[in-house]
Amino acid sequence: MLEAVLLGFLFSIFLVFAGRYFRGKLAVLSALIPISLFVYFASFINEVAQGKVILESVEWIPSFGVNLSFTLDGLSLLFALMITGVGSLVFLYTAAYLKNHKYLDRFYGYLSLFMSAMLGLVLSDNLMSMFIFWELTSISSFYLIGFNNDKADSRKSALTALGITGIGGLLFLGGAVLLGDVAGTYRISEMLGMSDSILKSPEYILIVILIFAAAFTKSAQFPFHFWLPGAMKAPTPVSTYLHSATMVKAGVYLLFRMSPVLGGSDFWHHTLIIFGAITMLYSAIHIIFRTDLKGILAYSTISALGILVFLIGIGTQAALIAASVFIIVHALYKASLFLITGIIDHETGTRDITQLSGLKKVLMPVAIAGFIAALISGGVPPSLGFVGKDLIYEATLHFENNAILLTVIAIATNILLFYAGFVAGVKPFFGKLPDKFEKVHMPSPLMWIPPLLMTVGGLIFGIFPGLIETTFAKPIVNALVTDTEDFHLKLWHGFNTILALSATTLVLGTILYFTIKPKHKLEQAISKLDRIAPKNLLFKLSNGFVDFSSLWTSVFQNGYLRHYLSLIVAFLIIAVGFLLFKDFSLNIDLRSLSRVTIYEISILTMLLCSVLYTVFTKSRLAAVASMGVVGLSFSLLFLFYSAPDLAMTQFSVDTLTVILFVLVLYKLPKYLNLSDNKVRIKHGILSLVFGSMITLLILRVLSEPKNTEISEYYAENAYTLAHGKNIVNVILVDFRGIDTMIEISVLIVAALGVFGLLKLRLKSKDKK
């Protein structure tokens, strides 16, 4: 299985080098990759249908419990087949859709990168490897949405999508780490038995919230749904593949996978039901206001994802069956509708539903595909959509709480989805053909065969639901529910409540389709509400963040050195002062201090004089020189207190500092009084406070008991261990040599920094 996952990665790497051969007619050969993978995964259908779970594990980072372990059960097989199956059709379709595109090879590279990442995601049994594949899907999606990178719109949408799904990915990592911590393993198959102890752990709520956040961002649940309509800027094959059939279902897949481990609590079920219900209804209502075909499909996709989350939230066996069948239904009709939209866009140059009509005259096979897709989407018998819709109603009707309310929401959503399917799949083809579309001609068969194939599949599965029952529905339920009841998928259940509900949906949907016509006016009307839409609120939040950052920066980093210095000093005063005065006690034994001699008095006098001179002198050079005197006085002090090493170093450093100052200041104009007295007084107070605080700090240190253990160790061992008599130097080059090593590295970095900054400026000056 590892090879199957890696195949797409290898192919995209191969395209980096051999891409130019795949831009022309050979491009269609790329489809061999997903087709062969589809055949490979299809060969497991029998084994999995018999209830076998195929496990494979390759050690990757065993010390962290991160391994490439793959599992193939009903759920992952369904997703794998969907990824490779829809993938094959999309690969074929792209060859015609982007024919002779300059970057066709690049597009295939991104697509196969995505396919592999997605396969890895659904096959992973290890949470960590799943996270890595999860992120890879976000990244490849970023490239694909921004494929038309010369358009500002595409770039922005790509960034939004990456931002939202990226935040989700980060939260997923958090949830995975916490969950791995609680369970003691990252393997999902090992967690299955620990469900009870995980539910009782104090971190449970946090884990669930993090996993939800990941799933909701990826699967575009309210209020994170807005990246998906934006992602429609991508070329249609991408919308088909990533943003309706596979990637957006990754969040749903995660919820599926986690429901045996984390499900079972009220929090899990209620949250999912609430968010799913809001999403499915909210975005279904949005459909009415859209006129762009892809916009309609995007919102109906969000709504469908909402239904899936909603069903997982209900979590009964009936609901899980409904969800797994609905995934297949949705993949079949939504991918077809997207491909059909792509054909319409490709041939007529517009996706505006108010302009499109009568296309069946020129695009007959496409019209057939569109019609069948609409039937599946609307749940008209005998399509698989009908089976799927019945299962949904069965799940809601038999749920113990608020069954009526949930069923009403489900019916309302389904009516609107019926409308969406017919607007996208039927409306463009009926009515009068406008003159400007007379010359529209059929596209290459590579484009119209894939949607036709999928819709016909939807019909066949609908007539023979048994095909899905044994291959997918049962293995999935076996993988997710511990004690299963036997069930059968059927097209005809006899006359009962559910049939009545289905009929109501169909009738109301038809009425809706004939009464409401998509209009630009409606779209404009709803755009007035955009101000309070989650998208804009989030954008406002991010703009506010930027504004706050620039305000913060302009306050703390305004470019004036004196400002930085006073800020640093003020901060130190507050931070150190707080700790110092929290419990301040000063008890210095005056007798323990050594006697003050005439040397110290004279040096202190010298220090004081030169400090005062520095502050009040009118000449810059004189100030620098008297600063030098301060430094030299200090080195004298060190000398008196028997620290010759320190004195020497201080002496040389001070010499160099003075030279540096002189070099910089020498060429400046004569002393100008730039700061007024107010500022000077402010700085003076700041310095005085800082100085007195440091003095107090040192006095405080003196009153602490001395710890001489370390210095004694050095004194004893300097000669015996390091053959040196100068302890300071032995510490520098031997005992703590690695510190010195790092210090000289820092010194080099500083020198390089100065060199780079100044030389770069010199060069740009030279250019002028």
- The CA-atom distances, in angstroms, between 472 and each of 49, 124, 146, 478 are 7, 19, 35, 10
243-272 footprint of another protein as x/- string (CB under 8 A)? ------------------------------
Closest by Cα among 296, 323, 547 to 425: 296
- The CA-atom distances, in angstroms, between 463 and each of 42, 247, 326, 452, 698 are 21, 28, 15, 17, 89
- For 616, other C-beta atoms within 10 Å of its C-beta total 8
Q: Is 622 in the site for another protein (CB under 8 A)?
A: no
β-strand 66-72 against 54-61: which pairing, if any?
A: antiparallel
C-alpha–C-alpha distance, residues 21 and 1, integer Å: 29
Using an 8 Å Cβ cutoff, are 283 and 303 in contact?
A: yes
C-alpha–C-alpha distance, residues 70 and 187, integer Å: 10
| Residue among 542 and 652 whose Cβ is closer to another protein | 652
Q: Is 738 in the site for another protein (CB under 8 A)?
A: yes
Q: Is 744 in the site for another protein (CB under 8 A)?
A: yes
Q: Is 561 in the site for another protein (CB under 8 A)?
A: no
- Window of 150-158, 422-430, 574-582, 750-758 that interacts with another protein by CB under 8 A: 750-758
Using an 8 Å Cβ cutoff, are 12 and 112 in contact?
A: yes
Q: Is 659 in the site for another protein (CB under 8 A)?
A: yes
| Residue among 551 and 746 whose Cβ is closer to another protein | 746
To the nearest whole angstrom, how small is the minimum distance from the Cβ of residue 275 to another protein? Answer: 56
The one among 525, 664, 688, 715 contacting another protein by CB under 8 A: 664
C-alpha–C-alpha distance, residues 727 and 18, integer Å: 64
C-alpha–C-alpha distance, residues 410 and 284, integer Å: 11
- Window of 150-158, 514-522, 596-604, 716-724 that interacts with another protein by CB under 8 A: 716-724
C-alpha–C-alpha distance, residues 603 and 611, integer Å: 12
| Residue among 613 and 661 whose Cβ is closer to another protein | 661
Q: Is 634 in the site for another protein (CB under 8 A)?
A: no
> How many residues belong to the site for another protein (CB under 8 A)?
43
Burial class (CB in 10 A: 0-12, 13-18, 19+), 304: buried
- In the structure encoding, which two tokens stand for residue 472, read together? 């997918």
C-alpha–C-alpha distance, residues 572 and 197, integer Å: 48
Using an 8 Å Cβ cutoff, are 389 and 509 in contact?
A: no
Q: Is 500 in the site for another protein (CB under 8 A)?
A: no
| Residue among 153 and 743 whose Cβ is closer to another protein | 743
The one among 266, 762, 766, 767 contacting another protein by CB under 8 A: 762
Q: Is 10 in the site for another protein (CB under 8 A)?
A: no
Q: Is 761 in the site for another protein (CB under 8 A)?
A: yes
Q: Is 52 in the site for another protein (CB under 8 A)?
A: no
Using an 8 Å Cβ cutoff, are 9 and 116 in contact?
A: yes
C-alpha–C-alpha distance, residues 35 and 91, integer Å: 9
- For 400, other C-beta atoms within 10 Å of its C-beta total 7
To the nearest whole angstrom, how small is the minimum distance from the Cβ of residue 731 to another protein? Answer: 10
Q: Is 716 in the site for another protein (CB under 8 A)?
A: no
To the nearest whole angstrom, how small is the minimum distance from the Cβ of residue 723 to another protein? Answer: 6
To the nearest whole angstrom, how small is the minimum distance from the Cβ of residue 531 to another protein? Answer: 53
The one among 591, 725, 767, 768 contacting another protein by CB under 8 A: 725
To the nearest whole angstrom, how small is the minimum distance from the Cβ of residue 563 to another protein? Answer: 22
Find the length of the chain.
768
| Residue among 570 and 744 whose Cβ is closer to another protein | 744
Tell me which DSSP letter residue 99 carries. Answer: T
Q: Is 663 in the site for another protein (CB under 8 A)?
A: yes
To the nearest whole angstrom, how small is the minimum distance from the Cβ of residue 734 to another protein? Answer: 5
| Residue among 29 and 656 whose Cβ is closer to another protein | 656
- Window of 111-119, 441-449, 649-657, 695-703 that interacts with another protein by CB under 8 A: 649-657
To the nearest whole angstrom, how small is the minimum distance from the Cβ of residue 594 to another protein? Answer: 21
To the nearest whole angstrom, how small is the minimum distance from the Cβ of residue 539 to another protein? Answer: 44
| Residue among 256 and 735 whose Cβ is closer to another protein | 735
The one among 58, 511, 622, 748 contacting another protein by CB under 8 A: 748
- Window of 202-210, 677-685, 692-700, 740-748 that interacts with another protein by CB under 8 A: 740-748
C-alpha–C-alpha distance, residues 133 and 129, integer Å: 6
- In the structure encoding, which two tokens stand for residue 438, read together? 């007379």
Using an 8 Å Cβ cutoff, are 277 and 306 in contact?
A: yes
Q: In whole angstroms, what separates CA 270 from the centre of its chain?
A: 25
The one among 723, 764, 766, 768 contacting another protein by CB under 8 A: 723
The one among 550, 557, 652, 675 contacting another protein by CB under 8 A: 652
Using an 8 Å Cβ cutoff, are 442 and 332 in contact?
A: no
Q: Is 625 in the site for another protein (CB under 8 A)?
A: no
Q: Which residues contact 557 (CB under 8 A, 6 or more apart)?
A: 564
To the nearest whole angstrom, how small is the minimum distance from the Cβ of residue 632 to another protein? Answer: 14
27-46 footprint of another protein as x/- string (CB under 8 A)? --------------------
The one among 99, 399, 644, 766 contacting another protein by CB under 8 A: 644
C-alpha–C-alpha distance, residues 379 and 462, integer Å: 10
Q: Is 163 in the site for another protein (CB under 8 A)?
A: no
Q: Is 533 in the site for another protein (CB under 8 A)?
A: no
Q: Is 751 in the site for another protein (CB under 8 A)?
A: yes
Q: Is 742 in the site for another protein (CB under 8 A)?
A: no
C-alpha–C-alpha distance, residues 194 and 185, integer Å: 10
- Window of 11-19, 510-518, 678-686, 715-723 that interacts with another protein by CB under 8 A: 715-723
Closest by Cα among 613, 635, 608, 643 to 626: 613
Q: Is 729 in the site for another protein (CB under 8 A)?
A: yes
Using an 8 Å Cβ cutoff, are 49 and 474 in contact?
A: yes
- Window of 115-123, 538-546, 669-677, 749-757 that interacts with another protein by CB under 8 A: 749-757
| Residue among 192 and 639 whose Cβ is closer to another protein | 639
Q: Which residues contact 636 (CB under 8 A, 6 or more apart)?
A: 603, 647
Using an 8 Å Cβ cutoff, are 369 and 335 in contact?
A: no
What's the Rg (C-alpha) of the chain?
A: 36
The one among 648, 681, 688, 699 contacting another protein by CB under 8 A: 648
Task: List, in sequence order, the alpha helices (H) in 74-146.
Answer: 74-97, 104-123, 127-145
What are the backbone angles phi and psi of residue 280, rounded to the nearest 5°?
-65, -35
To the nearest whole angstrom, how small is the minimum distance from the Cβ of residue 602 to another protein? Answer: 24
Q: Is 511 in the site for another protein (CB under 8 A)?
A: no
Specify the amino acid at residue 319.
A
Residues that bind another protein (CB under 8 A): 644-645, 648-649, 652-653, 655-656, 659-660, 663-664, 666-667, 721-726, 728-730, 732-734, 737-738, 740-741, 744-745, 747-748, 750-752, 754-755, 758-759, 761-762
